[in-house]
Amino acid sequence: MNTSSSHFSPEDDAIETAAAEWLLEREEGFTPVRAAQFAAWRMADQRHDAAVVRTERALSLIAEMPAVRGPLESRLAEEVKVVRPAFRRTPVWAAGLAASLALAAGLWWMVSFRGPSTQHYVTAAARQQQVSLVDGSVLNLNVSSEVQVALTPSVRRVTLTAGEAHFDVAHDTSRPFIVSAGGVWVRAVGTAFSVRLGDQGVEVLVTEGKVEITRDDPRAVPAPAPVAPAEPALLVAGERTLIARDSSAAGTKVERVSADALQAAVRWHSQVMTFTDLPLRDAVILFNRRNQQQLVLADAAVGECRIGGTFAADQVEAFVRLLAQDGDVVVERRSAAEIVLRRAP
């Protein structure tokens, strides 16, 4: 079926509506199970994935055109009579992209109607998580980490309360991206950086662009008495700093990180993993942190097998096929979510 034709069938309508509903739920915050179900829905049909892409683009267009938000809201209020329980009955105005734009506008209207929402993400001790935010930014959570995300029309705020997170920030000069952790505020517009909250303080590592670091809360109201504001510390790509809990951000030492050290520091969230003579048991831990599909070692002997190469972090099946090709490892698919590895006899 050609979804770009002038005929927009009931089936196409249902797909576009489902895509908008998935994105609305993602805006609220996916659990790992729901994230896997969303990925499976997108992969089940090319039209599903295309509908998600169209709706995401439409949402992005709406966000960049504040002048049309009022008319869109009025039109939706008059023609669609949008209320929460009635969203599934939202009519489609036209075919193709126009339909996606209408549904995306309805989605945007609902989010705006509810007011700013906060998403909460937590990872377990043995799992990592990647989160795609609605503004286009990507958040990678390390193990045993916790964040709260609040996106508003004027600012994007993330609060890191435990662990470590890496942020690949979508460029938006009108909405700064601010991360707070342990009394430290990291401000960026479009860049990539990591923040780790530890016993010694807050560690910030910039992998792309630059960030400003301060202990002054950007949300705070200025004091009535004249107080000299603290000068923010500026970090650029390849620099790292550790801000002790009892020190000011401006007085913190900034160090240059070598290329090898930088690569090692960001390896935990990289989409590509390179192993050199690594025990299989360690590789299994790394894959299991990134994927719903889990690898299980049947015995200690198979875990001692040494492996090397470069692998995509989310391609468990490809990794398993390579293991089986060598003949040293036997693969048993116990279920869709579990693959057992044992030493070949």
Kindly report, residue by residue over 224-242, the tens digit of the pLDDT.
Answer: 444 444 567 889 999 999 9
CA 276 to each of CA 7, 89, 206, 266, 289: distance values in angstroms, whole numbers, following the listed order: 55, 55, 26, 17, 19
State pLDDT tens for residues 51-80.
888 877 776 655 555 554 555 545 544 444
CB 332 within 8 A of CB 340: yes
Q: pLDDT tens across 162-205, in order?
A: 999 999 999 888 889 999 999 899 999 779 999 999 888 899 99
- In 3-state terms, what secondary structure has residue 21? helix
User: pTM to 2 decimals?
Assistant: 0.56
177 closest CA partner among 188, 185, 161, 165: 188
Contact (CB, 8 A) for 189 and 168:
no
What domains are there in the chain, each with its CATH number? 10-114 (no CATH), 118-257 (2.60.120.1440), 271-343 (3.55.50.30)
pLDDT, residue 16, reads: 81
